[in-house]
Amino acid sequence: MPEPENHDDGHDHRDDHGRSRGDDHGRDGSGGRTRGRRRRSPWVTVPVGVVLGLLLIAVLTPLTVGARVWYQARQDERPRSDAIIVLGAAQYNGQPSPTLRWRLQHALDLYRAGVAPAIVTVGGKAPGDNYTEAGSGRTWLVEKGGVPAGRVVAVPLGRDTLGSMRAVGAEFDRRGWSSAVIVSDPWHGLRSKKMAADHGIEAAASPTRSGPSVQTRETQFDYIVRETGAYLSYVLLGKSVRVPDETIRRINIDPSRAPSPPVTDPPPSR
């Protein structure tokens, strides 16, 4: 019988791309090379994703709160309300400190503008003091500002914003009030509104524009950072942080030499 023809001419047969025709054989088999990259184990990818997510939250949360503090500080909210709340600041033997006087003057201006028919002063006293912040503020409004005594309510409790808001919330409940405009430093607006809302008060904020907290950009940045931390401490832990600024430090100062805002006369009656 004739032998079968052998078509192997000794040459290496390759396709148009230069690959040997036998290169593709066996790749899909059990002994061939696998296609594509190896998939990573979920035991690696899931923990890495969780860590990255937590880091992102840790970075974005303070930035977001800081932006809210900055934005709220630039608002001047004056809706018609039941009362104006003046947050406490240092007093010296019954005389309001410059910071407290700025707040009292601003509250007096709001009262005269018809924002609310009453003013509430808040704040207790430090150990060894004979006067409370609330009492000193009320005396100033009545004697210097000419506000009728029956229109000024002193709530002499609390050595921080949270303690004061608890006492003010109880006083509002007793009087049947529900809304207020809070007077404080600009950077304190967001936190004080949150605390007021948590104690049943529908609050707006009308900050003062005087004092060390608004003097320079460096000072403003410092206050924003402090208030961001204080706000997160309250929201996450339920604690009130006493920001170490001029509003709560007990310093030796002669109030008669300290600059104070002028007491403006009431508008003439028509």
Tell me what percent of the residues of the chain surpass a pLDDT of 70. Answer: 69
Is the pLDDT reported for residue 17 higher than 90?
Answer: no
pLDDT at site 40: 63
Least confident among 10-19, 33-42, 224-233: 10-19
Domains, the chain, ranges and CATH? Answer: 71-237 (3.40.50.620)
| 181 φ, ψ (degrees, to nearest 5) | -110, 125
Residues 161-180: what's their mean pLDDT?
A: 95
Q: Which of 38-47, 75-84, 183-192 has the lowest mean pLDDT?
A: 38-47
Q: Where are the alpha helices (DSSP H) in 113-241?
A: 133-143, 161-175, 189-198, 217-237
- Residue corresponding to tokens 């967001």: 190
Q: What is the mean pLDDT of residues 221-247?
A: 78
| pLDDT mean across residues, the chain | 79
**Can you give the pLDDT at residue 147?**
97
Confidence tier at 134 by pLDDT (50, 70, 90): very high
Highest mean pLDDT among 8-17, 26-35, 59-68, 191-200 belongs to: 191-200
pLDDT of residue 4: 52
Residue 19 CA to residue 211 CA, distance in Å, equals: 81
- How far apart, in whole angstroms, are the C-alpha atoms of residue 38 and residue 255? 76
| Rounded-to-integer distance, Cα 50 and Cα 95, Å | 55
Q: What is the dihedral of CA 40, 42, 47, 52, to 10 degrees?
A: 60
Answering whether pTM is above 0.85, one says no
Give the pLDDT of residue 266: 45
- Is residue 57 predicted with pLDDT exceeding 90? no
- Evaluate whether 77 touches 181 at the Cβ level (below 8 Å): yes
Specify the residue for token string 């949360």: 61
Tell me, what's the pLDDT at 66? Answer: 92
**How far is Cα 32 from Cα 136, in angstroms, rounded to an integer?**
89
Note the pLDDT of residue 259: 46
Q: Given this model, what pLDDT does residue 213 score?
A: 53
